[in-house]
Structure 1
């Protein structure tokens, strides 16, 4: 088995372009379909506060997940907004602020609400300190800072529909969807090599060698799994550390939940290879099957926005649905591995059933 595995990797190293092209295509689709930009919105800032106060205020503001505040001069700020380089700018004063914007948009409204919240906290703190004698101001400030970092009680926000609320992050939606979609082609190409070897009677010659048949299957299947899993890991690492995509603390869990999905795709390709009568037929079915599964499973668009009962029912037969559920659960919803057992168990069940049927069909297919 090890010899077969090493041979497969050597052949891939000699002709790696199909794998490279698929990986680049996946990265490109995920990047542009997810919005293209994964960086914060830059906001130029002009401050009339002291240098120390400005530094502290900007440090607080830059904790935002959406905006990045950059200090500049007023002339540069107004020119950038006039020329369309920035959507909005911020003028900081002692007790209030001014937002300078070229257009009225949702980002400008979010910026205004975000700064108002910080100004209210700042004014509350100043009002508290000014009401105390000088000898108590230092201790009061320490209590204030501690209350912000270690509150006595937590407030949980909820709505009437909170139990059914779904979070949609188009960056992660595109990344997960296209990664799960393109890996089907990567795995299918590696399984197609098994059909080619059978057609050229290579397996017949190997059967009379010391290599057992289960080792031949295991070597090819392990190679298909590793090449598919490795592709997705490379894509995720590229977006995590190259594009700065936020996985909401679940990056490690995503690498684990990918394992059952890739196993299921390997089993699916093996089943399809056993049911088809030729390589040409196999290559014709793969694009059709992959696109249908992607559409039903929520790879192209969030499954949460689908309202058709028929489409939702059919989606239960797509492995991509459970792969997306597991990936979103590990990131957007912060679920533990125990909470992700349901979609992972379904994927493993699919993998076992399809692998058994696929190998049996491969053994009985016409050569």
Structure 2
């Protein structure tokens, strides 16, 4: 097995450009998507009586994901009909969101506005109660040592969505990186190099073990370079999560190699292999949440299908420990599922490839 590894690294040294390209594309895509996610804010118009609108906007001033501004109702209606805005807020005795957007697009806005409206309602009731009891609104009373403060409940305010962009891009492009290593089986079959391996003193388990170990090492090197650059340049912190990330990525790499071995067993040429690798990686990325969070997907069918995609479990596990600060123990069920999928896929992949190479 050591000889297989040594030979594979010699070939990597001679032709390292494709691997470096995939690493560069991972960083570029994660930077572009992450920067867009970090800097994008939605503008939301607020209409109604001026003093009520001002009070609501004052409650919403700390929401970094949205920019609220005062607008006339007829102009907001016209903008909504023309598609320039997706929704606007009407403030009267109650607070109403007028929208043409899909429900998924409102998931971030609804809790923000609901919480602010609730805070205003509570403040109004306190003022009415204070006025009935002592003849003054609560806001006009002076307290020496008591201070009333309200903190808007914003669950996602401390979540860094750049992790989603980084690892989504990483899981997507690593399939191409592994494709370059697994495609070597096609070349060995075409040039009859595989026959030399078969008649060598090495057992097939050592031959396959050598190539699988090399693929895992290459994949982990890909991840390590991306994480080092992301931590150095983007300022992301992996000091407490590197073990969970490493285990998850190693299992995902094994699963990916299994899928690629199955492709090798059924395609005839390098061109066919490259085509199916692209189809497989793109479809898995779309269904697994690499391009967008699965939280915004409303189709039950797509969510059900995504549970059968290994990328889903890998990405959700990594997001759990990086974005939501969960521990390694919390993602053990997902890791166990990836282990099972990897064992099954690798077993079938090796069997089919072995038949193909004869």
TM-score normalised according to structure 2 size: 0.65
Residue 171 of structure 1 aligns with which residue?
Answer: 162
Residue 286 of structure 1 aligns with which residue?
Answer: 277
Mapped pair 1:220 → 2:200: no
Matches within 5 A, 1:345-364: 345-364=336-355
8 Å CA contact 1:166–1:304 kept in 2: the answer is no
Distance 1:233 1:366, change over 3 A: closer
8 Å CA contact 1:276–1:282 kept in 2: the answer is yes
8 Å CA contact 2:26–2:170 kept in 1: the answer is yes
Distance 1:299 1:337, change over 3 A: same
Shift of 1:201: 0.9
Distance in structure 1 (CA, Å) of the matches to 2:223 and 2:337: 20
Instruction: Give ranges in structure 2 of 5+ residues lacking alignment.
Output: 40-63, 65-143, 146-150
Distance in structure 1 (CA, Å) of the matches to 2:297 and 2:178: 28
Shift of 1:335: 1.7
Shift of 1:202: 0.6
Matches within 5 A, 1:58-207: 169-207=160-198
Mapped pair 1:256 → 2:277: no
8 Å CA contact 2:38–2:161 kept in 1: the answer is no
Distance 1:158 1:359, change over 3 A: farther
Distance 1:257 1:285, change over 3 A: same
Distance in structure 1 (CA, Å) of the matches to 2:308 and 2:265: 19
Pick from 325, 328, 334 the counterpart of residue 343 of structure 1. Answer: 334
Aligned length: 250
Residue 323 of structure 2 aligns with which residue?
Answer: 332
Residue 27 of structure 1 aligns with which residue?
Answer: 27
Shift of 1:166: 11
Matches within 5 A, 1:239-278: 239-247=230-238, 249-278=240-269
TM-score normalised according to structure 1 size: 0.63
8 Å CA contact 1:174–1:299 kept in 2: the answer is yes
8 Å CA contact 2:248–2:317 kept in 1: the answer is yes
8 Å CA contact 1:264–1:351 kept in 2: the answer is yes
Deviations 1:318-361 (A, max 9, x none): 11101111101111222222211111111111111111111111
Distance in structure 2 (CA, Å) of the matches to 1:166 and 1:205: 59
Distance in structure 1 (CA, Å) of the matches to 2:157 and 2:353: 42
Distance 1:166 1:24, change over 3 A: same
Residue 316 of structure 1 aligns with which residue?
Answer: 307
8 Å CA contact 1:184–1:265 kept in 2: the answer is yes
Deviations 1:188-212 (A, max 9, x none): 1100011211221111112222122
Distance in structure 2 (CA, Å) of the matches to 1:324 and 1:37: 17
8 Å CA contact 1:271–1:357 kept in 2: the answer is yes
Distance in structure 1 (CA, Å) of the matches to 2:158 and 2:296: 11
Residue 9 of structure 1 aligns with which residue?
Answer: 9
Distance in structure 2 (CA, Å) of the matches to 1:307 and 1:199: 46
Residue 71 of structure 1 aligns with which residue?
Answer: none
Residue 114 of structure 1 aligns with which residue?
Answer: none
Shift of 1:312: 0.4
Shift of 1:220: 0.9
Shift of 1:38: 7.7
SS of corresponding position for 2:183: helix
Distance in structure 1 (CA, Å) of the matches to 2:320 and 2:349: 30
Distance in structure 2 (CA, Å) of the matches to 1:187 and 1:366: 19
